[in-house]
Structure 1
Amino acid sequence: MGASSSTGNPSPEEQELREQEGLASASLGLPLLRAAFSRSAGSLAETLSPPPAVFRSASSPAVPPHFHDLLARLGPAIASLFFSDLGSVGDAGWLGFLRGFNRCCARMPASQSLALLLRLYAAACVDAGVPCGLQLHPDEDGAGGEGKVVGELAPVDIAVLLWMCWVMAWSGSLPRISGGQGGGKGEPVVLPNVTHLVLSALVSAGAVTDDAGVWGWEVSGGGKGVKVQELTSWVLSTAAGLGSCLSRYVQEKFRSCAADPAEERFVSTSSMASCPPDVYLLTRGRAWAISLSLRNTLSEKFLSASVIGMDSEDLIYRSSVHGKGLSRFWSCVEGYKGPVLILLSAFSSGGGENVDVGQRWGIGVLTDEGLQNKDTFYGSSGFLFSTYPIFRMFPPSGKEKNFIYCHLHPQIRVYEAKPKPVDLAFGGTIGNERILLDEDFSKLTVRHHAVDKTYQHGSLIPNQGYLHVEASVLEVEVWGLGGETTRRQQDVYKKREDIFSEQRRKVDLKTFGNWEDSPEKMMMDMISDPNVVRREDR
């Protein structure tokens, strides 16, 4: 018989290497990881560090002085926590590199990913000498040596943690460039407002027990902290995207490190550093909050908006620009067959006892499809949001599908024994809508969640109570999220409708018969002199 190669049993090192490569390849390509390993040898902490920049906050609270020290220790903390057994440059080093990568980037439950993020935050605070309410308790059995994070975070610490996660997302979206941030001009990077997220965590944990106490609340005011278990519950229910911040950051850093330096282009980030002010209802902080709450492809769209702001071309309708009213609203959104985000800002001016009078609040609706003119509810999916002063997200309940109601007056008026209401609504049923915007866009009505089985339960307005809330509408915005292709299709639709409208307005006199022989002429004569005797032609 011919000679055959003997495979034999692989050694424990070879078997572990195969397992680690299999786990790593599910998150990032092995050739890319090989390139990142060879180029980051000896400088892994520097590779995993965010680009140097000056950060400031446009609103309360102000950025703490130790925030920049915390960011400076971010890369070394990741290297020491997850890549501590990184050996030499050879096979042993490659195996240690894979182990570290899989510790923080392998697929794992969301609660475990969040625990790794909290461990990183605690370690970075210790390295930077920053006071932190979290402590790392090693496991009693010593399994993995990871330990357990315990303690609680004060409101300011939650804001710093959220800002750290945003900086990780911000730096992961930048190309790796030389010369640091801001093109050497030293322009500060404006951090998004995270007050609504911090307040959401505190209310969820019971640190702010009175729901009406959110009006005028400030992070810098201090107060009771949030325990790790309570923070984990809030993240899993409201901001699940926080758990993936660490893995996304490490993967993007390795992608940037593995890129060919000859093919890299210098991209000045001064435009990103000096982001435009939040002039829309969709601020960068609210866009990031929505991004963290979603688990679909739209999350990337909102994440990009939180970094560089939304493209003004995606703004389909704004009441202060296009005018209030359902007809003006429809003239802007008609024909858009993509997901849209509708944001409403209202002012509680009524005399209701269940909501504080004189307070401004904001809510939003995210739909997976465009708006249609129907006299019934329709839709396949959607989300309700409370955007200000507290952030909350209400996904579909799966019980009913009354997601959207948008009905205008028909172009051809016909008699209706029971005419359908002309308004814009979300959830509930006709006559008991959860959110109702009248035809003039002047009054907004929000009802208790008990009338709605389409969206999950919860208060859209702080201290809402059981009675319905009527408020005056301040602003309405509609953002199209379908991209350039959807906008182009809407333009084609509008042009076609304009042609049809122009054809309807034109009257061809040649198509009409002689006026003297027309029935209209006879009817007009009878009306003018009904007593005249007319002989019937036989």
Structure 2
Amino acid sequence: MGAGSSTSAGPNIPAEQADAESVAASTGALPMLKKSFSKLANPETQAVSFDNLQQLFSFSREEGRSYASNVPDLFPVLLDHLGSSIVDQFFTGQKEGIDWVQFVKGYNKCCARVSASISFNTLIRLFIAITRKANLVLNLEFESEDDDCKISGYLLPNHVLLLLYICWIMSWDCRNLKDSEGKRNICLPDLNHLVLSAMTLCAKIEGGLDVWECEISSLEVQLPVGKFVTWVMSTVPCLPDCLRHYFHARLQMALTAGDELTSSTSSVGDISSKAACDYILTHGRAWSISITQRSTVNEEIYRAFISCEGGMAENPLYRSSIHGRGINRFWSRVEGYKGPLLILVTASSGDAHEGNSINRKWVLGALTDHGLENKDIFYGNSGSLYSISPVFHVFLPTGKEKNFVYCHLHSSRVYESHPKPAGIAFGGTLGNERIFIDEDFVKVTVRHHANDKTYQSGSLFPDQGFLLTEARISEVEVWGLGGKSAKEVQSSYKKREELFTEQRRKVDLKTFANWEDSPEKMMMDMMADPNAVRRENR
């Protein structure tokens, strides 16, 4: 049946087609599917050929491309089988191709609203299909053909890294389909912090795991798939969405592509591990944060760090190495910004004389929901804490308390008998903050999660312990995630403040045009004869 068929109930519409169209309509994608099918289908057979579908969902890899040394040799081969594996996994049809009903059912199988466990199983089934075509044996097995069945077996650390790389590529691609040339080079980001996060939760390693000096590619540690599922659901629950977004974006691309799909397929290009800049928030860390929870902030992270249109060209609101250290300089950059903020801190603990502080650097992060305010109490309605490097973890709100953020500057105009501490804090209570950054941005204090009922429990850096840790701050960054509107509001606020300041500085010179009436003459007369009797003119 062609794409022009109506979805309204009627005697001429088979029940199978009506059910498939109903599911697709619930996602809002049915009009797009009709247009895509009309674009892809052969007018004579009213079916889409398998070759067309494979070209639509595939990457094209040009010859002569070079790859960075840290990219697994198998990864480009896996990408070569991505399109064919998607078609085999989601579409079934006759030799002539895929008819309208099978086309819609294939979309529903990948993109329909289903439980998180089914979405994860769909992603793993595709990953297994890709690796089999690349002759990579995985020790994973589904108990049945049911969508929500259990998986048995285990993954190795380098298998987890390959899975994350494929998900990253799909995320990058569906945000960059507007690249007209289709040959834009991309960089595979450093995702070791995510692999180490999965290992610390899933694997039992004799003698422990040294996350500071760890070569993932050489580890033969088994990660039971059941525990790996738990890690995905608790840490990166949006990871299976990468496949759904990729699938949907590729079908949308068919609407604007020419008759030859090969000219519109994306190119992986020159995969390199070279960082785009030396910011704390690298592409890999930004993507990791974006797949931890579903919110409008995620799309802004994608636009700024994963899309070609944004990239790392947009500078952070504040960076201590550029704008200067201290809460006053910090406040001058973030004041008036009413959108979500991502605050990152790089610090190092340990004795500097031991020579190990360089290898003990770690990165913390805090995501606020609506900018910062200068208050002497905790405030906020939502937020998250992040342990970003060397091991990635997310700490969501518990709902027990609302001590999300504390930001206080000392006031020079008001005397306070018991001044509140100046600095920035997250979680805990005053005097027992989970994270506290001092007013000079020199030291960060991290306490055990027992002092905090606002955020979930867990270590903010490896081997944290129960005692408080005072670490030296290397860098502080603040990224605005409120989009252009929040930036425009801040610009208007700063212009208004500058106008008020300028008005207060202005002096009406007409008032002091006469020397006899000037305050300078009055002061000189008082200094000449301070005991002289002066009558006030009335």
The bucket for the TM-score relative to the shorter chain is 0.7 to 0.9
Instruction: Look up the match of 1:253.
Output: 250
Q: Distance between the aligned counterparts of 1:67 and 1:267, measured in 2?
A: 18
Measured after TM superposition, the shift of residue 77 of structure 1 is 1.3
Measured after TM superposition, the shift of residue 385 of structure 1 is 0.5
Question: Which deviations, in whole Å up to 9, do the C-alpha atoms of 1:186-239 show, x marking residues without a partner?
Answer: x5x320111000000011113457776211222123131212111110000000
Question: Which deviations, in whole Å up to 9, do the C-alpha atoms of 1:149-192 show, x marking residues without a partner?
Answer: 4321100110001001111122222327887534xxxx5x3201
Question: Which deviations, in whole Å up to 9, do the C-alpha atoms of 1:63-108 show, x marking residues without a partner?
Answer: 222222211111111211221246756xx82112222221111110
Question: What letter matches 1:458 in structure 2?
Answer: G
Question: What letter matches 1:47 in structure 2?
Answer: L
Question: What letter matches 1:251 in structure 2?
Answer: H
Do 1:434 and 1:449's aligned partners in 2 also have CA atoms closer than 8 Å?
yes
Q: Distance between the aligned counterparts of 1:393 and 1:287, measured in 2?
A: 13
Q: Distance between the aligned counterparts of 1:302 and 1:272, measured in 2?
A: 23
**Distance change (3 Å), C-alpha of 1:400 and 1:260:** same
Instruction: Look up the match of 1:485.
Output: 485
SS at match of 2:240: helix
Q: Distance between the aligned counterparts of 2:397 and 2:198, measured in 1?
A: 21
Q: Does 1:132 align with 2:138?
A: yes
Instruction: Look up the match of 2:104.
Output: 98
Instruction: Look up the match of 1:226.
Output: 223
Q: Distance between the aligned counterparts of 1:284 and 1:227, measured in 2?
A: 28
Q: Distance between the aligned counterparts of 1:391 and 1:501, measured in 2?
A: 44
Measured after TM superposition, the shift of residue 270 of structure 1 is 9.6
Q: Does 1:123 align with 2:125?
A: no
Which of 47-56 and 309-318 deviates more? 47-56
Q: Does 1:241 align with 2:250?
A: no
SS at match of 1:363: strand
Measured after TM superposition, the shift of residue 496 of structure 1 is 1.5
Instruction: Look up the match of 1:326.
Output: 327
> Aligned ranges for residues 228-307 of structure 1 at < 5 Å?
228-259=225-256, 261=258, 277-304=276-303, 305-307=305-307
**Distance change (3 Å), C-alpha of 1:345 and 1:535:** closer
Q: Distance between the aligned counterparts of 2:330 and 2:54, measured in 1?
A: 52
> Aligned ranges for residues 485-504 of structure 1 at < 5 Å?
485-504=485-504
**Distance change (3 Å), C-alpha of 1:511 and 1:416:** farther
**One of 71, 85, 105 as aligned partner of 1:77:** 85
Question: What letter matches 2:296 in structure 1?
Answer: T
Instruction: Look up the match of 2:440.
Output: 440
Q: Distance between the aligned counterparts of 2:488 and 2:176, measured in 1?
A: 29
SS at match of 1:35: helix
Do 2:60 and 2:265's aligned partners in 1 also have CA atoms closer than 8 Å?
no
Measured after TM superposition, the shift of residue 357 of structure 1 is 9.0
**One of 133, 142, 151 as aligned partner of 2:153:** 151
The alignment's TM-score, normalised by the length of structure 1, stands at 0.84
SS at match of 1:160: helix
Measured after TM superposition, the shift of residue 377 of structure 1 is 1.2
Q: Distance between the aligned counterparts of 1:252 and 1:107, measured in 2?
A: 16
Question: Which deviations, in whole Å up to 9, do the C-alpha atoms of 1:358-402 show, x marking residues without a partner?
Answer: 610000111111111111111111110011001111111111111
Measured after TM superposition, the shift of residue 32 of structure 1 is 1.9
Measured after TM superposition, the shift of residue 334 of structure 1 is 0.9
Instruction: Look up the match of 1:4.
Output: none
Q: Distance between the aligned counterparts of 2:311 and 2:178, measured in 1?
A: 23
Q: Does 1:174 align with 2:176?
A: yes
**Distance change (3 Å), C-alpha of 1:210 and 1:409:** farther
SS at match of 1:241: coil
Q: Distance between the aligned counterparts of 1:83 and 1:138, measured in 2?
A: 19
Question: Which deviations, in whole Å up to 9, do the C-alpha atoms of 1:392-415 show, x marking residues without a partner?
Answer: 11111111111111111225x222
Q: How many pairs are equivalent?
A: 510
Question: Which deviations, in whole Å up to 9, do the C-alpha atoms of 1:272-329 show, x marking residues without a partner?
Answer: 9788624100000001100110211111222341354644435111111011111111
> Aligned ranges for residues 357-506 of structure 1 at < 5 Å?
359-411=360-412, 413-506=413-506
**Distance change (3 Å), C-alpha of 1:112 and 1:271:** closer
Over the aligned positions, Cα root-mean-square deviation in angstroms equals: 3.6
**One of 60, 66, 83 as aligned partner of 2:74:** 66
Instruction: Look up the match of 1:45.
Output: 54
SS at match of 1:190: coil
Do 1:444 and 1:473's aligned partners in 2 also have CA atoms closer than 8 Å?
yes
Measured after TM superposition, the shift of residue 267 of structure 1 is 11
Instruction: Look up the match of 1:22.
Output: 22
SS at match of 1:122: helix
Instruction: Look up the match of 2:34.
Output: 34
Q: Distance between the aligned counterparts of 1:435 and 1:147, measured in 2?
A: 42
Question: What letter matches 1:250 in structure 2?
Answer: F
Q: Distance between the aligned counterparts of 2:388 and 2:520, measured in 1?
A: 66
The alignment's TM-score, normalised by the length of structure 2, stands at 0.84
Question: What letter matches 2:427 in structure 1?
Answer: G
Q: Does 1:108 align with 2:114?
A: yes
Q: Distance between the aligned counterparts of 2:149 and 2:278, measured in 1?
A: 45
Do 2:58 and 2:265's aligned partners in 1 also have CA atoms closer than 8 Å?
no
Question: What letter matches 2:118 in structure 1?
Answer: Q
Which of 453-462 and 34-43 deviates more? 34-43
Question: Which deviations, in whole Å up to 9, do the C-alpha atoms of 1:401-431 show, x marking residues without a partner?
Answer: 11111111225x2221211111111111111
Do 1:87 and 1:96's aligned partners in 2 also have CA atoms closer than 8 Å?
no
Measured after TM superposition, the shift of residue 135 of structure 1 is 3.0
Instruction: Look up the match of 1:346.
Output: 347
SS at match of 1:346: strand
Q: Distance between the aligned counterparts of 1:401 and 1:209, measured in 2?
A: 39
Q: Distance between the aligned counterparts of 2:54 and 2:14, measured in 1?
A: 27
Question: What letter matches 1:170 in structure 2?
Answer: W
Measured after TM superposition, the shift of residue 134 of structure 1 is 2.1
Q: Distance between the aligned counterparts of 1:178 and 1:535, measured in 2?
A: 84
Do 1:361 and 1:388's aligned partners in 2 also have CA atoms closer than 8 Å?
yes
Question: What letter matches 1:77 in structure 2?
Answer: S
Do 1:315 and 1:480's aligned partners in 2 also have CA atoms closer than 8 Å?
yes
Question: What letter matches 2:57 in structure 1?
Answer: L
Instruction: Look up the match of 2:44.
Output: none
**Distance change (3 Å), C-alpha of 1:536 and 1:31:** closer
Unaligned runs of 5+ in 1: 1-6
